[in-house]
Structure formats: structure tokens, C-alpha cells
Amino acid sequence: MPSASDHIVGTGVARTRDRGVVRIIKGVVLLAGAALLVSWPSLAANPYLVSAGVVVLNYAVFASSWNIMGGLTGYISLGHAAYFGLGAYGTALLIQNFDIPSFGAWFLAGLLTLVIAIPVGWAALRVRGASFVIVTIALVLVLALIFQSLRGITGGSDGLIVPRPFPDLLRPEHHATFYYIYAGLLAVVLAVWFVIARSRFGAGLKAIREDEDKAESLGIPTTRYKGIAHALSAYFVALGGGLYALWFGDLDPIMQFSVLLSAEVVLMALLGGVRFLLGPLVGAIIVGTALEYFVLNFGETQLHLVATGILLAVVVLFLPDGVLAGLSELVARFRPQATSIREMTAEELQNQRVSEVRPGSGVDADPTSSERSEQELAPVERSPS
């Protein structure tokens, strides 16, 4: 499997200067993107666009939380809609039945989902690959069945109305408020991902992704690590779901516990690139906007399913590392290439090697080292994989 570090090829002064330029461009793009995201509610021409922004941010929170598990461990779960639904229904039911203030219920529902997610994760993560995916799908399907059947509590397929947290806000202000709450949650999720990805724990998770057996034999407590990653990502998905309940105000088991929702989110994460911090966000913006467009223009027909399906197939077949990986490859292409023809002769290189080695110990200066460096003289050009 290629890893993200594969794309960085070659060394040299020209490259470092070049990389600085790229970094500046990246920074500018990021700042502009963040500024656009933050000011969207005031830029948007009408309340609908703000609400569409909330939908996209909801997807972004979901996909980024999913990515704590999916991106770092490589376990592709189609079951996170279950946690989304549990967070949403948990929030709604706690408000209705126990008179807990909206955001208290929201927080509590997240914790309750976490309590459920830990044993579920323990069971599901006993198996790998195909079986794992089957279990996660089954989780969503069985919860959909249960929440439809428990009519007395959940309202069944009639749906469940969630009391509004800010009853005196007008609709546009309601959307704008939730836009910022979602943006805050997204920032938290991204920060968590960022910290984990750079921690020892994250390194363990990535080792599981690359080769679980080897990771285990290296002493990484794979079961515990996977469990923690799963629980964390379930927790944040549940918080996203709870916010959705408070914002949208109307829940339906078919819509919340939907494998389709899971799959759309997985599509977003994959399309953006699961190895990148902002991959799921980029994917959510692309796919979320496209989904809104389809709902607006082809509302009643099932064409959005066809479009989602085709996009998913294309991403899986041709772009499994996401658009961000594709972009960085593209950038690499316009940088000076690491040539296969060395500007030094083999002899010069040999001399340089020897002079580098000599000041140190004599270990490398034995006759075998010349053999080894001859092997290393093979062209270093690596095709982008």
C-alpha cells in the first residue's frame, strides 16, 4: 500500500525553495477557505443557502468523525449512521421524556451513545475486512427495525418532533446559529484528528491500517487501539446527530438509520481523501452540494441514487486516495522532477559515500559496503503509485 509520504520524492536546494512556495500557496488557500466558511451565513443571498450550508457542515462533521476510525485504521464502517441516529434520537427523547435542557440532552446523548458504541465496537472489531463491514451494516438495519417498532417511544415511522432549543429565533437566525455551532464542532473534530494523527496512538492506528498482523507483532495493542478509535469516532458522530435533531427538529427512523447515509459519508471521506485532515471536509462540500442540487432539481425521482452510485463507483475504481492525493500528485508533477539520470557519476558518488563513511566507525567501510552502494545506484525515480 502506498503511504502519504511516498509522494515526496527527491532532495536538493531547488526543491526546498519550491516546497516553501507550495506551503505559502497552501496557507493562502486554507485561510481563504476558512474565511469563506466562517462568513458564509453573511454572504449567502437567502436563508435557504444558509440551511444548505448547515447540511454540508453536518456532513462534514459526520465524515470527519468517521475518518477518525476509517482514515486512521482503514476499517471502513458503513454503520456510523447508527451512531448518528442514536445521537439524534437520544437527544430528542431525553428532552421529551426527562425535561432536560436541549444542549444538556445533546451532551448526555453523546455519552450514552459512547456507552453503546464501546461493546458494539468490541464485538464488531473481532472480525476484519468483509465481516466487519457486514456487522456495521447489520447494526444500522437492526436499529432501524427497532426504532420503527418501538412506536410508543419513538413515534415509529410517523416521526418524532424535537422541541426547538431557541424558540424565539426566526428561521434565518436559527440556521445561522446552528451554522456556527456546527462549525465549532467541526473545528473540535478536526483538532482531535490532527492531534491523534500526530500522536503515538495515531501511529499505532496507521500501523494497523498498513498491516494489522505486523502491528500486533510489534506490540501495538491493536484491539484496544481500534476500540478507542471506534468509540471516539462514534462519539463525535453522535454529537453531530444530536445537533441535527436540534436543528432539523423532525426525526424519522428510515432517514436516520440509513445505510445510504453511511455510504454517502464514506463517499465524501474517500472522495476528499481519508489520509488528509481536510479530506472529508472537501468531500462533504463536493458531495453535499451535489446532493442538495439533485434534491432541488430532481426531488421526487430516484436519480440522486444513480448519481451517488456512479460517483461512488468512479471514486472507488479510479480515485481511491481522494482528490487531495490527486492534487498533491499534480503539484508534484509540476515541480522539478527527480531525474533518473544522476548529475554525478557513479564514481563521484562512490567517493562521496566513502568519505562520508570514513570519519565514523569502521563498520560501513568494509568491502561489502561498495557492493551495497552499487545496488543503491539504481535509478531512484519512483512512479507515483
Q: Which residues bind other proteins (CB under 8 A)?
A: 1, 74-76, 78, 123-124, 126-131, 133-135, 137-139, 141-142, 145-146, 148-149, 259-260, 263, 266-267, 270, 301-310, 312-313, 316-317, 320
Q: Which is nearer to other proteins, 73 or 102 (CB)?
A: 73
160 φ, ψ to 5°? -135, 125
Q: Which is nearer to other proteins, 33 or 326 (CB)?
A: 326
Q: How far is CA 267 from the centre of its chain?
A: 10
Minimum distance from CB of 209 to other proteins (Å)? 10
Minimum distance from CB of 65 to other proteins (Å)? 19
Task: List, in sequence order, every beta strand (DSSP E) within the chain.
Answer: 160-161, 250-251
CB 278 within 8 A of CB 262: no
Q: Which is nearer to other proteins, 25 or 313 (CB)?
A: 313
Minimum distance from CB of 272 to other proteins (Å)? 15
Q: Which is nearer to other proteins, 1 or 13 (CB)?
A: 1
Q: Which is nearer to other proteins, 75 or 106 (CB)?
A: 75
Q: Which helix (H) or strand (E) holds 178?
A: helix 171-197
Minimum distance from CB of 132 to other proteins (Å)? 8
Measured CA to CA, the distance from residue 96 to residue 81 in angstroms comes to 22
Minimum distance from CB of 300 to other proteins (Å)? 9
Q: Which is nearer to other proteins, 157 or 337 (CB)?
A: 157
Task: Give every CB contact of residue 192 below 8 A, 6+ residues apart in sequence.
Answer: 68, 232, 236
Task: List, in sequence order, every beta strand (DSSP E) within 133-282.
Answer: 160-161, 250-251
* Cα–Cα separations (whole angstroms), residue 180 to 54, 205, 306, 318: 9, 31, 32, 35
Measured CA to CA, the distance from residue 92 to residue 106 in angstroms comes to 8
Minimum distance from CB of 124 to other proteins (Å)? 7
Residue type, 95: I
